[in-house]
Structure 1
Amino acid sequence: MPVELSTVRPEAPPGRRDAVHVPFFTAAVVSVLTVGASWGVLILWRIGFGERFTGVSVHEINAHGYAQITGWVGLFIMGFGYQAFPRLWRTALAVPRLVPAVLAATLSGLVMAVTGMGATGYRAEGAWAVAAALAGNALVLAASLVFAAQLLVTYLRSPGPMRPVTGFIGSALFWLVAQAAFGLWHTWMTMTAADRADLLWYIATYQAPLRDLQIHGMALLMVLGLSSHLLPQMFGVPGTPERRAWTALLLINVGVVIEVVVFIAYRWADDHRLAALLMPPWLVIAGGVAAMALPWRLWRRLPRTDHRSGKFVRAAYGWLALSLVMLLLMPVYQMVSGLAFSHAYYGAIRHAITVGFVSMMIMGVAARVAPTLRGIHPGTLGSLTGPFVLINVGCALRVSLQTLTDWHPFFFAVVGVSGLLELAALVWWGTGLLRILHGSPASGPGVSRPVVLRPV
């Protein structure tokens, strides 16, 4: 009989096989608390003092974004993938000796890329910066390829038919590699741009498609797929029917491809009428998300809840819904504001889905999974209400105040407060998670068996 994520007496404390995620989770927390959220707060305050979102070097902003995608989201995906996916597929991880090499390449690449991009102004200050950024991107791409290949070989060894959760995981891994390759090319083109006009053209043409691959492709599909498998186990919500899940997967993948192609075509043609064609793929993506998530009825009280993670999950999907609504209302906002394009509104949409949805899902799932893998019953730990309130208030202020900067410059002066609240939430949550990851494994009565996913 398969075992769920539950409270079961273990025969022995968790061993090394159950700790493969620890260095990845640890590195992800360190990354978000340094070059991720902390640097982001500094950038946000500088934007506020300058009263314009273009007042900070685009290379510095890209370095911060790279740290968030690769260091925060990517490392959590890798750690969870190595720990949980072989169990999901009832098999052993292929070539496990490659795990330390993947971690080392990812961390080395992250440091090199962030250092190179962050040290660059509007043009490269030296060949070393370009070389460091490109070498770092290449290392991360190589690590992503090895990670995806390991999981592909692992899955091919597994018995049984393919389930939707595996389809979502596979699609997310494809976009993980695709965005790493695209990011390498984009870094090369922006850091070697001939002049400012050339640089701004590359940013305006390719930055949004890169973020679409990272957010709507890699992050959204991974979180939705794992949610479809974890949430019924953790909270007793109804499952998504398989045919409906396959349809949702197809819709989201098609939507991502079309929004990327249409945006690049619109920029190359320099015809704003083509921008109207972005609405169909956005509707397709929103429809795929709705098809996948509505059966869970997360707007209702969870059938089986806990005091730590349930509130994060429910709030995260609320932020996802808000980000999609804001995306679909972008033409309306442009018409009302009279702006052809709003950096503030577009950035607010991205913040709602990256921090409100992706980051809050990481916080909620890790709060449940990490203690279980250490043999600690989550019910014996704190409720995380403080970090939950801070991250939600911070995200709400960021989304609203950033949008309001289009209407009055006063809001530039206060938008930085939102970043401080989010950073405080991540520090509170992150230090607690590190204590769990590196504390002594629990043993004795009432501890949790280190099993994360029910096999399919």
Structure 2
Amino acid sequence: MKAAIHSHDQPGKARLRPQEPFARIAPLLKAALLLGVCGGFALATVLTITQSLPTMLGSWWVALVQAHGHLQLYGWSGLFVVGVSFHFLPRLRGTPIALPHLLPWFLGFLMSGLVLRALSQPLIALIDHPLWRVLLVVTGILEAGALLGFMAIFFRMSRNGPPFASRPAFVSIFPLLVLAFSALGLAGVSNLYNVIQASMGAGIVPTGGDELNITLGLLGFLLPVAFAMSARALPMYAGLSGFPPRTLRLLTVSYALGLFLLCLSFFQIPWQPALNALGMCCIGGTILMFIGVFLRLMLTRGQLPQHIKKLATEPTTVAQSYKTRVSDEGKAYGPFVALVASSYLWAMLGGILLLADGLSVLISGSVLVDIDIIRHSLTIGFISLLISGIAPRMLPGFSGKHIASASLVRATLWLGNIAALLRVGVLLLSPLASMVYPPTRTISELLFALSGPIGLIFATCLLINIWPTLR
């Protein structure tokens, strides 16, 4: 039976409406998994293998790199995060999701746009035909409609429902969510501008526009939602103490300031390098503080949270029951907590490297580490592993169905971390290794080439494991 709650579609006018069932959101998650396995991770396999071959790579390869990154950000990761958010957040807000009848349309727009982008952008570089240029612009229109639509759903939902004062859990993460969904809408607009620019040239998005769109998608949308969901959902599903509200507010302000400075640095304005450096320092430092708090909370798992211990009439009995629950969850859902913990370690690495790059720019005027390494630490390392950790635990609760196997959770733990290590670790350490022992360059290229196929196997295992919860 659906839970009935009061919502306010218009100010001052309330009516009884039910929460939307999980079936309304499941298509978004299915699409994200399919776009990841058949699109983003498959293209990553092609790219890592071809980059390691002794062949000349033309402009089609650069176009494919951009299409792959865009597909991973807004298809695999972005769509999955939107889907989980649109089931969890309405319940946290105490109101049904807004405009549910438009969700299939927005999903169709985004899927069509992403698939056409992956086809048309490289084809412009290979076969210069007007059709591909027109299709590339169409992809921008479709994606802008979808991303602006998702933003509108969030803000409409936030406006509805009971007074904010009665929903403190939602209010605590609301600023992070406003930041995230505003960035998502801006990403749709910036992407439209980017594809128009690319369609008038060789199919390559100008560097500045591409950098801004990646920043909006990764640092603007994915990371804030990941932190917000971790702060509210992780304590609930992993049996942890809550994230300190005051700390969360301070870190949100710090993160928003860093994002603003970083985005501002992509425009031709005075003090551009300094703004870029300060933005990286601010975001990198904030990520480290976020992760530090999360890891400290996770170290207490297995111990009864203090707020429950204070309310319990028989703390010893409740503590034993809590330990039994933790043990049972491990058997049913596999090492999902280890996956989440490992994802935080990759986020910590990304934060350290961002901070190091920012300081290096301030001191010497140049970056210390290639930004591509940092991005993959935060995408394949943090976001992908976080998704593969929370999905086997949260989705069965959403749908009332079971994952295929707890053993597949263990497989994704190993495969995901190996893929991230080969993708990020090899690029980070290979220059030093080549200086010490030159033959390691060939070994590094081979290991890097393996990161794509292993990432594809990782994503396939995740799809197989959680697909039963989506049927």
TM-score by length of 2: 0.79
In structure 1, the partner of 2:337 is 310
Structure 2 residue matching 1:125: 3-state secondary structure: coil
In structure 2, the partner of 1:422 is 455
Q: Provide, for residues 114-154 of structure 1, a one-character-per-residue CA deviation record: whole Å limited to 9, x for no partner.
A: 221132218x7122112112111211111222222122122
CA drift at 1:298: 5.1
1:142 aligns with 2:162: no
In structure 2, the partner of 1:180 is 188
Structure 1 residue matching 2:124: 3-state secondary structure: coil
**Measured at CA, do residues 111 and 432 of structure 1 come closer, stay the same or move farther in structure 2, by a change above 3 Å?**
same
Between the aligned partners of 1:52 and 1:346, the Cα distance in structure 2 is 23
Counterpart of 1:287, as a letter, is: G
Matches within 5 A, 1:329-344: 329-330=356-357
CA drift at 1:316: 0.8
In structure 1, the partner of 2:97 is 93
Between the aligned partners of 1:96 and 1:391, the Cα distance in structure 2 is 33
**Measured at CA, do residues 51 and 412 of structure 1 come closer, stay the same or move farther in structure 2, by a change above 3 Å?**
farther
CA drift at 1:55: 7.4
Query: Given that residues 49 and 413 in structure 1 are in contact (C-alpha distance below 8 angstroms), is that contact kept between their aligned partners in structure 2?
Result: no
**Measured at CA, do residues 52 and 328 of structure 1 come closer, stay the same or move farther in structure 2, by a change above 3 Å?**
farther
Query: Given that residues 247 and 288 in structure 1 are in contact (C-alpha distance below 8 angstroms), is that contact kept between their aligned partners in structure 2?
Result: no
Matches within 5 A, 1:120-269: 120-121=124-125, 125-161=128-164, 163-193=171-201, 202-203=206-207, 205-265=208-268
| Count of residues in Structure 1 that have an aligned counterpart in Structure 2 | 412
**Measured at CA, do residues 417 and 187 of structure 1 come closer, stay the same or move farther in structure 2, by a change above 3 Å?**
same
Structure 2 residue matching 1:237: 3-state secondary structure: coil
Query: Given that residues 25 and 75 in structure 1 are in contact (C-alpha distance below 8 angstroms), is that contact kept between their aligned partners in structure 2?
Result: yes
Between the aligned partners of 1:114 and 1:352, the Cα distance in structure 2 is 23
In structure 2, the partner of 1:41 is 45
Query: Given that residues 94 and 150 in structure 1 are in contact (C-alpha distance below 8 angstroms), is that contact kept between their aligned partners in structure 2?
Result: yes
In structure 2, the partner of 1:412 is 445
Q: What's the RMSD between the two structures over aligned residues? A: 3.1
Q: Provide, for residues 102-122 of structure 1, a one-character-per-residue CA deviation record: whole Å limited to 9, x for no partner.
A: 222222222222221132218
1:119 aligns with 2:146: no
Query: Given that residues 238 and 295 in structure 1 are in contact (C-alpha distance below 8 angstroms), is that contact kept between their aligned partners in structure 2?
Result: no
CA drift at 1:56: 5.7
Counterpart of 1:315, as a letter, is: S
In structure 1, the partner of 2:6 is none
Normalized per residue, the structure richer in helix is 2
**Per chain length, whose mean CA-contact separation is higher, i.e. which structure has more relative contact order (CA < 8 Å, sep 6+)?**
1
Structure 2: unaligned runs, 5 residues or longer: 4-18, 165-169, 304-325, 435-440
**Measured at CA, do residues 400 and 287 of structure 1 come closer, stay the same or move farther in structure 2, by a change above 3 Å?**
closer
Between the aligned partners of 2:342 and 2:64, the Cα distance in structure 1 is 30
In structure 2, the partner of 1:356 is 381
Query: Given that residues 68 and 118 in structure 2 are in contact (C-alpha distance below 8 angstroms), is that contact kept between their aligned partners in structure 1?
Result: yes
CA drift at 1:292: 3.6
In structure 1, the partner of 2:286 is 288
Query: Given that residues 339 and 389 in structure 2 are in contact (C-alpha distance below 8 angstroms), is that contact kept between their aligned partners in structure 1?
Result: yes
**Measured at CA, do residues 221 and 16 of structure 1 come closer, stay the same or move farther in structure 2, by a change above 3 Å?**
closer
**Measured at CA, do residues 155 and 16 of structure 1 come closer, stay the same or move farther in structure 2, by a change above 3 Å?**
closer
State percent identity of aligned pairs: 21
**Measured at CA, do residues 45 and 301 of structure 1 come closer, stay the same or move farther in structure 2, by a change above 3 Å?**
farther
Between the aligned partners of 1:54 and 1:316, the Cα distance in structure 2 is 34
1:386 aligns with 2:394: no
TM-score by length of 1: 0.82
Counterpart of 2:418, as a letter, is: V
Query: Given that residues 141 and 180 in structure 1 are in contact (C-alpha distance below 8 angstroms), is that contact kept between their aligned partners in structure 2?
Result: yes
CA drift at 1:283: 2.1
Query: Given that residues 46 and 56 in structure 1 are in contact (C-alpha distance below 8 angstroms), is that contact kept between their aligned partners in structure 2?
Result: no
Between the aligned partners of 2:366 and 2:384, the Cα distance in structure 1 is 30
Which one is further off, 31-40 or 404-413?
404-413
Query: Given that residues 263 and 275 in structure 1 are in contact (C-alpha distance below 8 angstroms), is that contact kept between their aligned partners in structure 2?
Result: no
Between the aligned partners of 2:171 and 2:291, the Cα distance in structure 1 is 17
Counterpart of 1:350, as a letter, is: R
In structure 2, the partner of 1:443 is none
CA drift at 1:416: 0.7
Structure 1: unaligned runs, 5 residues or longer: 4-14, 439-456
Between the aligned partners of 2:57 and 2:64, the Cα distance in structure 1 is 12
In structure 1, the partner of 2:347 is 320
Query: Given that residues 298 and 314 in structure 1 are in contact (C-alpha distance below 8 angstroms), is that contact kept between their aligned partners in structure 2?
Result: no
In structure 2, the partner of 1:9 is none
Which one is further off, 238-247 or 252-261?
238-247
Between the aligned partners of 1:51 and 1:400, the Cα distance in structure 2 is 24
Counterpart of 1:234, as a letter, is: Y
1:82 aligns with 2:66: no
**Measured at CA, do residues 50 and 217 of structure 1 come closer, stay the same or move farther in structure 2, by a change above 3 Å?**
farther
**Measured at CA, do residues 420 and 378 of structure 1 come closer, stay the same or move farther in structure 2, by a change above 3 Å?**
closer
In structure 1, the partner of 2:321 is none
Query: Given that residues 340 and 386 in structure 2 are in contact (C-alpha distance below 8 angstroms), is that contact kept between their aligned partners in structure 1?
Result: yes
Between the aligned partners of 1:52 and 1:361, the Cα distance in structure 2 is 36
Between the aligned partners of 2:227 and 2:77, the Cα distance in structure 1 is 14
Counterpart of 2:339, as a letter, is: F
